[in-house]
A and B are shown apart, each in its own frame.
Chain A
Protein backbone atom coordinates (compact mmCIF):
# COMPACT_ATOMS: atom_id res chain seq x y z
CA UNK A 1 0.00 0.00 0.00
CA UNK A 2 1.20 3.43 -0.80
CA UNK A 3 1.41 5.90 2.00
CA UNK A 4 -1.30 8.46 2.34
CA UNK A 5 -0.80 11.79 3.98
CA UNK A 6 -2.59 12.32 7.25
CA UNK A 7 -3.94 15.58 5.95
CA UNK A 8 -5.68 13.84 3.08
CA UNK A 9 -7.42 11.40 5.41
CA UNK A 10 -8.56 14.23 7.68
CA UNK A 11 -9.92 16.05 4.64
CA UNK A 12 -11.76 12.99 3.37
CA UNK A 13 -13.32 12.20 6.71
CA UNK A 14 -14.45 15.76 7.29
CA UNK A 15 -16.07 15.82 3.87
CA UNK A 16 -17.81 12.47 4.46
CA UNK A 17 -19.02 13.63 7.88
CA UNK A 18 -20.42 16.90 6.54
CA UNK A 19 -22.19 15.15 3.66
CA UNK A 20 -23.66 12.50 5.96
CA UNK A 21 -24.99 15.13 8.36
CA UNK A 22 -26.50 17.12 5.48
CA UNK A 23 -28.25 14.01 4.22
CA UNK A 24 -29.63 13.20 7.65
CA UNK A 25 -30.90 16.70 8.56
CA UNK A 26 -34.31 16.34 6.84
CA UNK A 27 -34.87 13.02 8.63
CA UNK A 28 -33.92 14.64 11.93
CA UNK A 29 -36.43 17.41 11.24
CA UNK A 30 -39.18 14.85 10.71
CA UNK A 31 -38.34 13.05 13.94
CA UNK A 32 -38.24 16.22 16.03
CA UNK A 33 -41.49 17.53 14.51
CA UNK A 34 -43.33 14.67 16.16
CA UNK A 35 -42.26 15.88 19.61
CA UNK A 36 -43.20 19.53 19.14
CA UNK A 37 -46.44 20.98 20.43
CA UNK A 38 -48.68 21.87 17.48
CA UNK A 39 -48.38 25.60 18.01
CA UNK A 40 -44.59 25.49 17.85
CA UNK A 41 -44.14 23.54 14.64
CA UNK A 42 -44.77 26.44 12.34
CA UNK A 43 -44.01 29.64 14.13
CA UNK A 44 -43.20 32.59 11.93
CA UNK A 45 -40.29 33.01 11.64
CA UNK A 46 -39.47 29.30 12.09
CA UNK A 47 -37.72 28.49 15.37
CA UNK A 48 -35.33 25.69 16.15
CA UNK A 49 -35.97 25.32 19.89
CA UNK A 50 -39.11 23.71 21.37
CA UNK A 51 -40.46 21.98 24.46
CA UNK A 52 -40.78 18.24 23.82
CA UNK A 53 -44.21 16.70 24.22
CA UNK A 54 -45.93 13.43 23.35
CA UNK A 55 -49.20 15.15 22.39
CA UNK A 56 -48.75 14.29 18.71
CA UNK A 57 -48.52 10.59 19.51
CA UNK A 58 -51.63 10.78 21.69
CA UNK A 59 -53.45 12.50 18.85
CA UNK A 60 -52.35 9.93 16.31
CA UNK A 61 -53.43 7.02 18.49
CA UNK A 62 -56.89 8.53 18.84
CA UNK A 63 -57.39 9.10 15.08
CA UNK A 64 -55.86 5.89 13.79
CA UNK A 65 -55.94 2.26 14.72
CA UNK A 66 -52.16 2.09 14.46
CA UNK A 67 -52.08 -1.57 15.50
CA UNK A 68 -54.37 -2.58 12.66
CA UNK A 69 -52.38 -0.47 10.16
CA UNK A 70 -49.14 -2.07 11.26
CA UNK A 71 -50.71 -5.52 11.12
CA UNK A 72 -51.70 -4.94 7.48
CA UNK A 73 -48.22 -3.70 6.62
CA UNK A 74 -46.61 -6.71 8.31
CA UNK A 75 -48.96 -9.25 6.68
CA UNK A 76 -48.45 -7.73 3.23
CA UNK A 77 -44.65 -7.50 3.56
CA UNK A 78 -44.17 -10.94 5.07
CA UNK A 79 -46.61 -12.63 2.70
CA UNK A 80 -44.90 -11.01 -0.28
CA UNK A 81 -41.42 -11.85 0.95
CA UNK A 82 -42.13 -15.52 1.73
CA UNK A 83 -43.93 -16.15 -1.57
CA UNK A 84 -41.30 -14.27 -3.60
CA UNK A 85 -38.48 -16.29 -2.08
CA UNK A 86 -40.32 -19.62 -2.48
CA UNK A 87 -40.79 -18.87 -6.18
CA UNK A 88 -37.65 -16.85 -6.93
CA UNK A 89 -34.83 -18.75 -5.21
CA UNK A 90 -35.45 -22.11 -6.98
CA UNK A 91 -36.00 -20.30 -10.29
CA UNK A 92 -32.76 -18.32 -9.92
CA UNK A 93 -30.94 -21.57 -9.16
CA UNK A 94 -32.46 -23.36 -12.12
CA UNK A 95 -31.55 -20.55 -14.53
CA UNK A 96 -27.99 -20.35 -13.19
CA UNK A 97 -27.44 -24.11 -13.49
CA UNK A 98 -29.35 -24.70 -16.69
CA UNK A 99 -27.33 -25.23 -19.84
CA UNK A 100 -30.18 -24.12 -22.04
CA UNK A 101 -29.57 -21.26 -24.44
CA UNK A 102 -32.68 -19.59 -23.11
CA UNK A 103 -31.54 -19.34 -19.49
CA UNK A 104 -29.96 -15.92 -19.94
CA UNK A 105 -32.96 -14.69 -21.87
CA UNK A 106 -35.29 -15.71 -19.04
CA UNK A 107 -33.06 -14.09 -16.40
CA UNK A 108 -33.21 -10.76 -18.23
CA UNK A 109 -36.90 -11.22 -18.90
CA UNK A 110 -37.39 -11.31 -15.12
CA UNK A 111 -35.33 -8.15 -14.69
CA UNK A 112 -37.39 -6.41 -17.38
CA UNK A 113 -40.62 -7.37 -15.60
CA UNK A 114 -39.38 -5.63 -12.48
CA UNK A 115 -38.85 -2.46 -14.52
CA UNK A 116 -42.36 -2.27 -15.95
CA UNK A 117 -44.24 0.87 -14.88
CA UNK A 118 -46.74 0.01 -12.17
CA UNK A 119 -49.71 1.53 -13.92
CA UNK A 120 -49.34 -0.59 -17.05
CA UNK A 121 -50.28 -3.74 -15.14
CA UNK A 122 -52.33 -2.17 -12.36
CA UNK A 123 -55.57 -1.41 -14.20
CA UNK A 124 -56.02 -4.83 -15.82
CA UNK A 125 -54.92 -6.41 -12.53
CA UNK A 126 -57.48 -4.31 -10.65
CA UNK A 127 -60.25 -5.57 -12.97
CA UNK A 128 -58.97 -9.14 -12.60
CA UNK A 129 -59.10 -8.92 -8.80
CA UNK A 130 -62.55 -7.34 -8.94
CA UNK A 131 -63.81 -10.22 -11.06
CA UNK A 132 -62.47 -12.95 -8.79
CA UNK A 133 -63.56 -11.09 -5.65
CA UNK A 134 -60.17 -10.48 -4.09
CA UNK A 135 -60.37 -6.70 -4.34
CA UNK A 136 -60.04 -5.13 -0.92
CA UNK A 137 -58.17 -8.04 0.61
CA UNK A 138 -54.52 -8.32 1.56
CA UNK A 139 -54.25 -11.07 -1.04
CA UNK A 140 -54.70 -8.71 -3.96
CA UNK A 141 -51.68 -6.65 -2.86
CA UNK A 142 -49.62 -9.71 -1.98
CA UNK A 143 -50.29 -11.32 -5.37
CA UNK A 144 -49.11 -8.35 -7.44
CA UNK A 145 -46.20 -7.51 -5.12
CA UNK A 146 -45.09 -11.13 -5.31
CA UNK A 147 -45.08 -10.96 -9.10
CA UNK A 148 -42.74 -7.94 -9.10
CA UNK A 149 -40.55 -9.19 -6.27
CA UNK A 150 -40.23 -12.79 -7.36
CA UNK A 151 -39.03 -11.46 -10.72
CA UNK A 152 -36.41 -9.41 -8.91
CA UNK A 153 -35.42 -12.24 -6.54
CA UNK A 154 -35.04 -14.61 -9.48
CA UNK A 155 -32.71 -12.22 -11.21
CA UNK A 156 -30.65 -11.53 -8.08
CA UNK A 157 -30.39 -15.20 -7.10
CA UNK A 158 -29.47 -16.01 -10.70
CA UNK A 159 -26.35 -13.87 -10.36
CA UNK A 160 -25.55 -15.24 -6.87
CA UNK A 161 -25.85 -18.89 -7.92
CA UNK A 162 -23.95 -18.27 -11.12
CA UNK A 163 -21.03 -16.93 -9.11
CA UNK A 164 -21.10 -20.09 -6.95
CA UNK A 165 -18.80 -22.89 -8.18
CA UNK A 166 -20.69 -26.02 -9.24
CA UNK A 167 -18.12 -28.40 -7.74
CA UNK A 168 -19.65 -28.84 -4.29
CA UNK A 169 -23.12 -29.67 -5.56
CA UNK A 170 -21.74 -32.02 -8.19
CA UNK A 171 -19.71 -33.80 -5.53
CA UNK A 172 -22.86 -34.12 -3.39
CA UNK A 173 -24.79 -35.46 -6.38
CA UNK A 174 -22.18 -38.13 -7.18
CA UNK A 175 -22.14 -39.06 -3.47
CA UNK A 176 -25.78 -40.06 -3.87
CA UNK A 177 -27.44 -36.88 -2.67
CA UNK A 178 -30.82 -36.19 -4.29
CA UNK A 179 -31.20 -33.20 -6.62
CA UNK A 180 -33.36 -31.35 -4.14
CA UNK A 181 -30.97 -32.32 -1.34
CA UNK A 182 -28.01 -30.85 -3.22
CA UNK A 183 -30.00 -27.65 -3.73
CA UNK A 184 -31.25 -27.29 -0.14
CA UNK A 185 -28.22 -28.59 1.76
CA UNK A 186 -25.36 -27.37 -0.41
CA UNK A 187 -26.35 -24.53 -2.74
CA UNK A 188 -28.81 -22.58 -0.57
CA UNK A 189 -26.60 -22.33 2.53
CA UNK A 190 -23.76 -21.09 0.33
CA UNK A 191 -25.77 -18.09 -0.90
CA UNK A 192 -27.20 -17.21 2.54
CA UNK A 193 -26.12 -13.59 2.30
CA UNK A 194 -27.76 -13.21 -1.09
CA UNK A 195 -31.02 -14.54 0.32
CA UNK A 196 -30.87 -12.08 3.22
CA UNK A 197 -30.30 -9.26 0.72
CA UNK A 198 -33.40 -10.42 -1.18
CA UNK A 199 -35.46 -10.47 2.02
CA UNK A 200 -34.35 -6.93 2.78
CA UNK A 201 -35.32 -5.67 -0.67
CA UNK A 202 -38.68 -7.46 -0.69
CA UNK A 203 -39.65 -6.20 2.75
CA UNK A 204 -38.50 -2.67 1.93
CA UNK A 205 -40.36 -2.57 -1.34
CA UNK A 206 -43.65 -3.92 -0.08
CA UNK A 207 -43.55 -1.94 3.16
CA UNK A 208 -42.90 1.35 1.38
CA UNK A 209 -45.23 0.92 -1.57
CA UNK A 210 -48.53 2.74 -1.47
CA UNK A 211 -49.80 2.80 -5.06
CA UNK A 212 -51.03 -0.81 -5.13
CA UNK A 213 -52.52 -0.94 -1.62
CA UNK A 214 -54.14 2.47 -2.17
CA UNK A 215 -56.29 1.03 -4.95
CA UNK A 216 -56.45 -2.61 -3.92
CA UNK A 217 -57.27 -2.45 -0.20
CA UNK A 218 -60.24 -1.15 1.77
CA UNK A 219 -60.54 0.70 5.05
CA UNK A 220 -59.83 -2.30 7.27
CA UNK A 221 -57.07 -3.86 5.17
CA UNK A 222 -55.04 -0.75 4.38
CA UNK A 223 -51.39 -0.62 5.46
CA UNK A 224 -49.66 2.27 7.17
CA UNK A 225 -48.29 3.76 3.93
CA UNK A 226 -51.83 4.36 2.66
CA UNK A 227 -52.87 5.79 6.04
CA UNK A 228 -50.04 8.31 5.75
CA UNK A 229 -51.33 9.46 2.42
CA UNK A 230 -54.95 9.73 3.47
CA UNK A 231 -53.96 11.42 6.72
CA UNK A 232 -52.14 14.09 4.83
CA UNK A 233 -54.65 16.60 3.63
CA UNK A 234 -57.41 15.92 6.15
CA UNK A 235 -58.08 18.93 8.32
CA UNK A 236 -57.35 17.61 11.78
CA UNK A 237 -54.01 16.03 10.90
CA UNK A 238 -51.05 18.36 11.26
CA UNK A 239 -47.45 18.00 10.18
CA UNK A 240 -46.71 17.04 13.77
CA UNK A 241 -49.09 14.11 13.80
CA UNK A 242 -47.84 13.08 10.36
CA UNK A 243 -44.34 13.05 11.83
CA UNK A 244 -45.62 10.85 14.65
CA UNK A 245 -47.35 8.50 12.22
CA UNK A 246 -44.24 8.42 10.05
CA UNK A 247 -42.33 7.09 13.07
CA UNK A 248 -44.31 3.86 12.84
CA UNK A 249 -43.81 3.53 9.11
CA UNK A 250 -40.12 4.42 8.85
CA UNK A 251 -38.44 3.25 12.06
CA UNK A 252 -38.94 -0.51 11.54
CA UNK A 253 -37.57 -0.35 8.02
CA UNK A 254 -34.66 1.98 8.79
CA UNK A 255 -33.60 -0.16 11.79
CA UNK A 256 -33.79 -3.28 9.69
CA UNK A 257 -31.65 -1.69 6.98
CA UNK A 258 -29.10 -0.40 9.51
CA UNK A 259 -28.75 -3.83 11.17
CA UNK A 260 -28.61 -5.75 7.90
CA UNK A 261 -26.62 -2.98 6.22
CA UNK A 262 -23.88 -5.41 5.16
CA UNK A 263 -26.40 -7.38 3.10
CA UNK A 264 -27.98 -4.25 1.71
CA UNK A 265 -24.59 -3.27 0.34
CA UNK A 266 -24.00 -6.74 -1.06
CA UNK A 267 -27.41 -6.93 -2.65
CA UNK A 268 -27.20 -3.55 -4.31
CA UNK A 269 -23.80 -4.29 -5.74
CA UNK A 270 -23.85 -7.95 -6.68
CA UNK A 271 -24.57 -7.07 -10.28
CA UNK A 272 -21.22 -5.32 -10.55
CA UNK A 273 -18.94 -8.29 -10.00
Chain B
Protein backbone atom coordinates (compact mmCIF):
# COMPACT_ATOMS: atom_id res chain seq x y z
CA UNK B 1 0.00 0.00 0.00
CA UNK B 2 2.56 2.50 -1.15
CA UNK B 3 0.27 4.93 -2.92
CA UNK B 4 -1.99 6.96 -0.65
CA UNK B 5 -5.67 6.36 -1.15
CA UNK B 6 -6.76 9.88 -2.00
CA UNK B 7 -9.92 11.51 -0.76
CA UNK B 8 -10.90 12.10 -4.35
CA UNK B 9 -10.75 8.41 -5.08
CA UNK B 10 -12.74 7.66 -1.96
CA UNK B 11 -15.50 10.12 -2.89
CA UNK B 12 -15.65 8.80 -6.44
CA UNK B 13 -16.10 5.22 -5.25
CA UNK B 14 -18.68 6.33 -2.71
CA UNK B 15 -20.81 7.97 -5.40
CA UNK B 16 -20.45 4.94 -7.63
CA UNK B 17 -21.88 2.67 -4.95
CA UNK B 18 -24.48 5.03 -3.52
CA UNK B 19 -27.24 4.70 -6.18
CA UNK B 20 -27.39 0.90 -5.95
CA UNK B 21 -27.31 0.91 -2.15
CA UNK B 22 -30.06 3.56 -1.94
CA UNK B 23 -32.14 1.76 -4.54
CA UNK B 24 -31.95 -1.60 -2.75
CA UNK B 25 -32.69 0.05 0.59
CA UNK B 26 -35.74 1.85 -0.81
CA UNK B 27 -37.23 -0.91 -2.95
CA UNK B 28 -35.97 -3.95 -1.06
CA UNK B 29 -35.20 -3.29 2.56
CA UNK B 30 -38.03 -0.85 3.20
CA UNK B 31 -40.75 -3.33 2.08
CA UNK B 32 -38.98 -6.08 4.01
CA UNK B 33 -39.04 -3.97 7.16
CA UNK B 34 -42.69 -3.24 6.54
CA UNK B 35 -43.30 -6.96 6.11
CA UNK B 36 -41.79 -7.56 9.54
CA UNK B 37 -44.04 -4.81 10.96
CA UNK B 38 -47.18 -6.28 9.32
CA UNK B 39 -46.38 -9.72 10.69
CA UNK B 40 -47.26 -8.51 14.19
CA UNK B 41 -50.78 -7.57 13.15
CA UNK B 42 -53.92 -9.41 12.31
CA UNK B 43 -54.17 -7.49 9.05
CA UNK B 44 -56.44 -8.44 6.16
CA UNK B 45 -56.56 -6.17 3.13
CA UNK B 46 -60.24 -6.92 2.64
CA UNK B 47 -61.07 -5.81 6.20
CA UNK B 48 -58.46 -3.16 6.99
CA UNK B 49 -60.69 -1.60 9.67
CA UNK B 50 -60.38 -4.72 11.81
CA UNK B 51 -56.59 -4.58 11.95
CA UNK B 52 -55.38 -5.58 15.39
CA UNK B 53 -51.96 -5.85 17.00
CA UNK B 54 -51.37 -9.50 17.91
CA UNK B 55 -47.67 -9.49 18.77
CA UNK B 56 -46.19 -12.88 17.97
CA UNK B 57 -49.66 -14.33 17.41
CA UNK B 58 -49.11 -14.99 13.71
CA UNK B 59 -45.90 -16.85 14.43
CA UNK B 60 -47.56 -18.93 17.12
CA UNK B 61 -50.31 -19.77 14.68
CA UNK B 62 -47.84 -20.98 12.03
CA UNK B 63 -46.44 -23.54 14.43
CA UNK B 64 -49.79 -24.61 15.80
CA UNK B 65 -51.65 -24.82 12.49
CA UNK B 66 -51.50 -28.35 11.10
CA UNK B 67 -51.42 -27.24 7.49
CA UNK B 68 -48.60 -24.75 8.08
CA UNK B 69 -46.59 -27.35 10.00
CA UNK B 70 -47.03 -29.71 7.08
CA UNK B 71 -45.78 -26.96 4.74
CA UNK B 72 -42.65 -26.52 6.88
CA UNK B 73 -41.99 -30.27 6.88
CA UNK B 74 -42.60 -30.45 3.11
CA UNK B 75 -40.25 -27.56 2.42
CA UNK B 76 -37.47 -29.19 4.42
CA UNK B 77 -38.04 -32.59 2.82
CA UNK B 78 -38.06 -30.98 -0.63
CA UNK B 79 -34.88 -28.99 0.00
CA UNK B 80 -32.86 -31.73 1.63
CA UNK B 81 -33.87 -34.45 -0.83
CA UNK B 82 -33.54 -32.42 -4.01
CA UNK B 83 -30.28 -30.73 -3.08
CA UNK B 84 -28.60 -33.97 -2.01
CA UNK B 85 -29.78 -35.83 -5.12
CA UNK B 86 -28.54 -32.95 -7.24
CA UNK B 87 -25.18 -33.01 -5.48
CA UNK B 88 -24.73 -36.74 -6.13
CA UNK B 89 -25.91 -36.70 -9.75
CA UNK B 90 -24.30 -33.34 -10.45
CA UNK B 91 -20.92 -34.57 -9.18
CA UNK B 92 -21.18 -37.69 -11.32
CA UNK B 93 -22.05 -35.62 -14.35
CA UNK B 94 -19.22 -33.16 -13.66
CA UNK B 95 -16.72 -36.04 -13.47
CA UNK B 96 -18.00 -37.38 -16.81
CA UNK B 97 -17.63 -33.94 -18.40
CA UNK B 98 -14.25 -33.21 -16.82
CA UNK B 99 -12.12 -34.03 -19.89
CA UNK B 100 -12.03 -30.89 -22.01
CA UNK B 101 -13.31 -31.60 -25.50
CA UNK B 102 -15.58 -30.06 -28.08
CA UNK B 103 -18.00 -32.93 -27.53
CA UNK B 104 -18.29 -32.20 -23.82
CA UNK B 105 -18.68 -28.48 -24.33
CA UNK B 106 -21.56 -28.95 -26.78
CA UNK B 107 -23.20 -31.55 -24.51
CA UNK B 108 -22.99 -29.13 -21.59
CA UNK B 109 -24.65 -26.36 -23.61
CA UNK B 110 -27.60 -28.63 -24.33
CA UNK B 111 -27.70 -30.00 -20.78
CA UNK B 112 -28.28 -26.46 -19.55
CA UNK B 113 -31.46 -26.08 -21.62
CA UNK B 114 -33.76 -27.22 -18.74
CA UNK B 115 -32.36 -24.48 -16.51
CA UNK B 116 -33.18 -21.79 -19.07
CA UNK B 117 -36.75 -22.88 -19.78
CA UNK B 118 -39.45 -20.96 -17.93
CA UNK B 119 -40.05 -22.89 -14.67
CA UNK B 120 -43.75 -22.53 -15.32
CA UNK B 121 -43.42 -24.41 -18.59
CA UNK B 122 -41.30 -27.05 -16.88
CA UNK B 123 -44.14 -27.70 -14.46
CA UNK B 124 -46.67 -27.91 -17.27
CA UNK B 125 -44.54 -30.36 -19.28
CA UNK B 126 -44.29 -32.79 -16.39
CA UNK B 127 -47.90 -32.39 -15.43
CA UNK B 128 -48.90 -33.46 -18.92
CA UNK B 129 -46.33 -36.25 -19.17
CA UNK B 130 -47.21 -37.83 -15.84
CA UNK B 131 -50.99 -37.89 -16.10
CA UNK B 132 -52.10 -41.48 -15.48
CA UNK B 133 -54.95 -41.52 -17.98
CA UNK B 134 -53.25 -39.80 -20.91
CA UNK B 135 -49.61 -38.89 -20.12
CA UNK B 136 -46.89 -40.46 -22.19
CA UNK B 137 -45.00 -41.61 -19.10
CA UNK B 138 -47.80 -41.80 -16.55
CA UNK B 139 -50.04 -44.04 -18.65
CA UNK B 140 -47.48 -46.75 -19.26
CA UNK B 141 -46.23 -46.72 -15.68
CA UNK B 142 -49.79 -47.05 -14.43
CA UNK B 143 -50.42 -49.77 -16.98
CA UNK B 144 -47.38 -51.70 -15.80
CA UNK B 145 -48.68 -51.43 -12.25
CA UNK B 146 -45.92 -49.07 -11.12
CA UNK B 147 -47.30 -46.20 -9.11
CA UNK B 148 -50.80 -45.16 -8.20
CA UNK B 149 -53.65 -45.50 -10.69
CA UNK B 150 -54.58 -41.85 -10.18
CA UNK B 151 -51.19 -40.58 -11.36
CA UNK B 152 -48.10 -39.64 -9.43
CA UNK B 153 -48.93 -35.97 -9.06
CA UNK B 154 -52.42 -36.50 -7.69
CA UNK B 155 -51.39 -39.12 -5.14
CA UNK B 156 -50.50 -37.74 -1.71
CA UNK B 157 -47.82 -40.40 -1.22
CA UNK B 158 -45.82 -39.68 -4.35
CA UNK B 159 -46.57 -36.08 -5.36
CA UNK B 160 -43.81 -34.44 -3.33
CA UNK B 161 -41.23 -36.91 -4.64
CA UNK B 162 -42.29 -36.17 -8.19
CA UNK B 163 -41.74 -32.46 -7.51
CA UNK B 164 -38.31 -33.30 -6.12
CA UNK B 165 -37.46 -35.19 -9.31
CA UNK B 166 -38.72 -32.31 -11.47
CA UNK B 167 -36.43 -29.98 -9.54
CA UNK B 168 -33.54 -32.40 -10.11
CA UNK B 169 -34.28 -32.48 -13.84
CA UNK B 170 -34.18 -28.72 -14.00
CA UNK B 171 -31.17 -27.98 -11.82
CA UNK B 172 -28.79 -30.99 -11.76
CA UNK B 173 -26.95 -29.67 -14.85
CA UNK B 174 -26.39 -26.30 -13.18
CA UNK B 175 -25.03 -28.09 -10.10
CA UNK B 176 -22.76 -30.09 -12.43
CA UNK B 177 -21.61 -26.85 -14.06
CA UNK B 178 -20.54 -25.24 -10.78
CA UNK B 179 -18.75 -28.43 -9.67
CA UNK B 180 -17.13 -28.76 -13.10
CA UNK B 181 -15.64 -25.28 -12.74
CA UNK B 182 -14.25 -26.43 -9.40
CA UNK B 183 -12.78 -29.60 -10.93
CA UNK B 184 -11.13 -27.61 -13.70
CA UNK B 185 -9.43 -25.30 -11.24
CA UNK B 186 -7.87 -28.17 -9.24
CA UNK B 187 -4.06 -28.06 -9.20
CA UNK B 188 -2.86 -30.46 -11.88
CA UNK B 189 0.41 -31.42 -10.19
CA UNK B 190 -1.32 -32.74 -7.07
CA UNK B 191 -3.60 -34.99 -9.14
CA UNK B 192 -0.63 -36.11 -11.23
CA UNK B 193 1.34 -36.95 -8.08
CA UNK B 194 -1.57 -39.02 -6.81
CA UNK B 195 -1.58 -40.95 -10.05
CA UNK B 196 2.16 -41.65 -10.09
CA UNK B 197 2.02 -42.74 -6.45
CA UNK B 198 -0.31 -45.49 -7.63
CA UNK B 199 -3.48 -44.40 -5.82
CA UNK B 200 -6.60 -46.11 -7.09
CA UNK B 201 -9.37 -44.06 -8.72
CA UNK B 202 -11.44 -44.32 -5.54
CA UNK B 203 -8.53 -43.21 -3.34
CA UNK B 204 -7.78 -40.31 -5.65
CA UNK B 205 -11.43 -39.28 -5.46
CA UNK B 206 -11.88 -39.48 -1.69
CA UNK B 207 -8.40 -38.38 -0.61
CA UNK B 208 -7.50 -35.78 -3.24
CA UNK B 209 -10.43 -34.54 -5.29
CA UNK B 210 -13.10 -34.39 -2.60
CA UNK B 211 -11.11 -32.37 -0.03
CA UNK B 212 -9.91 -29.93 -2.69
CA UNK B 213 -13.45 -29.55 -3.98
CA UNK B 214 -14.95 -28.48 -0.64
CA UNK B 215 -15.20 -24.75 -1.55
CA UNK B 216 -17.01 -25.52 -4.81
CA UNK B 217 -19.30 -28.03 -3.11
CA UNK B 218 -20.10 -25.44 -0.48
CA UNK B 219 -20.95 -22.79 -3.07
CA UNK B 220 -23.12 -25.16 -5.09
CA UNK B 221 -24.96 -26.43 -2.00
CA UNK B 222 -25.52 -22.93 -0.71
CA UNK B 223 -26.94 -21.56 -3.96
CA UNK B 224 -29.17 -24.55 -4.62
CA UNK B 225 -30.32 -24.80 -1.01
CA UNK B 226 -31.46 -21.19 -0.97
CA UNK B 227 -33.36 -21.62 -4.23
CA UNK B 228 -34.89 -24.98 -3.30
CA UNK B 229 -36.16 -23.62 -0.01
CA UNK B 230 -38.03 -20.89 -1.84
CA UNK B 231 -39.57 -23.32 -4.34
CA UNK B 232 -42.78 -21.91 -5.76
CA UNK B 233 -43.28 -21.98 -9.53
CA UNK B 234 -43.22 -25.72 -10.18
CA UNK B 235 -45.39 -26.57 -7.16
CA UNK B 236 -47.90 -23.83 -7.89
CA UNK B 237 -48.44 -25.03 -11.46
CA UNK B 238 -48.40 -28.79 -11.03
CA UNK B 239 -50.24 -29.44 -7.78
CA UNK B 240 -51.03 -26.05 -6.27
CA UNK B 241 -49.99 -27.53 -2.92
CA UNK B 242 -52.39 -30.45 -3.07
CA UNK B 243 -53.57 -33.12 -2.84
CA UNK B 244 -54.59 -32.29 0.70
CA UNK B 245 -51.53 -30.15 1.57
CA UNK B 246 -49.26 -33.05 0.58
CA UNK B 247 -47.06 -30.75 -1.51
CA UNK B 248 -47.77 -27.44 0.19
CA UNK B 249 -44.55 -25.50 0.70
CA UNK B 250 -43.91 -22.35 2.69
CA UNK B 251 -43.85 -20.13 -0.40
CA UNK B 252 -47.04 -21.61 -1.85
CA UNK B 253 -48.76 -21.21 1.49
CA UNK B 254 -47.59 -17.59 1.80
CA UNK B 255 -48.70 -16.67 -1.72
CA UNK B 256 -52.10 -18.27 -1.16
CA UNK B 257 -52.60 -16.54 2.18
CA UNK B 258 -51.25 -13.18 1.09
CA UNK B 259 -52.32 -12.73 -2.49
CA UNK B 260 -55.45 -14.83 -2.68
CA UNK B 261 -56.96 -14.38 0.79
CA UNK B 262 -55.16 -11.04 1.45
CA UNK B 263 -54.16 -12.18 4.92
CA UNK B 264 -51.22 -9.80 4.86
CA UNK B 265 -50.13 -10.20 8.48
CA UNK B 266 -50.08 -13.99 8.44
CA UNK B 267 -48.45 -14.19 4.99
CA UNK B 268 -45.73 -11.76 6.06
CA UNK B 269 -45.03 -13.92 9.10
CA UNK B 270 -44.62 -16.97 6.84
CA UNK B 271 -42.25 -15.00 4.59
CA UNK B 272 -40.16 -13.96 7.59
CA UNK B 273 -40.05 -17.49 8.99
CA UNK B 274 -38.83 -18.67 5.58
CA UNK B 275 -36.04 -16.07 5.61
CA UNK B 276 -35.09 -17.13 9.10
CA UNK B 277 -34.95 -20.82 8.12
CA UNK B 278 -32.78 -19.99 5.10
CA UNK B 279 -30.37 -17.98 7.26
CA UNK B 280 -30.15 -20.78 9.83
CA UNK B 281 -29.59 -23.43 7.16
CA UNK B 282 -26.88 -21.30 5.55
CA UNK B 283 -25.15 -20.93 8.91
CA UNK B 284 -25.37 -24.67 9.62
CA UNK B 285 -24.02 -25.45 6.14
CA UNK B 286 -21.15 -23.05 6.72
CA UNK B 287 -20.29 -24.69 10.06
CA UNK B 288 -20.49 -28.22 8.64
CA UNK B 289 -18.26 -27.39 5.69
CA UNK B 290 -15.78 -25.55 7.94
CA UNK B 291 -15.72 -28.58 10.22
CA UNK B 292 -15.17 -30.94 7.32
CA UNK B 293 -12.43 -28.67 5.99
CA UNK B 294 -10.59 -28.70 9.29
CA UNK B 295 -11.00 -32.47 9.65
CA UNK B 296 -9.84 -33.31 6.13
CA UNK B 297 -7.39 -30.59 5.26
CA UNK B 298 -6.09 -29.89 8.74
CA UNK B 299 -5.79 -26.32 9.91
Contact = CB atoms under 8 A, between A and B. Distances in A.
Nearest to A259: B109
B118 A225 contact: yes
A183 B13 CA distance: 10
A93 B135 contact: no
A257 B27 contact: no
Contact of B185 (A30, A95, A272): A272
B17 A91 contact: yes
Contact of B5 (A45, A94, A99): A99
B96 A268 contact: no
Contacts of A117: 230, 250-251, 254, 271, 274-275, 278
A204 B116 CA distance: 7
B209 to A, nearest CB: 14
A153 to B, nearest CB: 9
B20 A88 contact: yes
A88 B129 CA distance: 41
A239 B128 contact: yes
A120 B120 contact: no
- Residue among B119, B255, B272 facing the most chain A CB atoms (10 A cut-off): B255
A54 interface: no
Contact of B133 (A30, A44, A249): A44
A139 B217 CA distance: 38
Contacts of B275: 116-117, 120
Contacts of A183: 16
B31 A94 contact: no
B75 to A, nearest CB: 11
Nearest to B230: A117
B117 A250 contact: yes
18 contacts: A2-B195, A16-B104, A26-B114, A29-B125, A29-B136, A90-B19, A117-B274, A119-B258, A124-B268, A128-B31, A151-B28, A208-B120, A210-B118, A228-B120, A258-B113, A268-B177, A268-B178, A269-B178
Given A27-B113, A151-B20, 7 more contacts: A16-B104, A20-B110, A23-B111, A93-B16, A117-B278, A257-B112, A261-B112
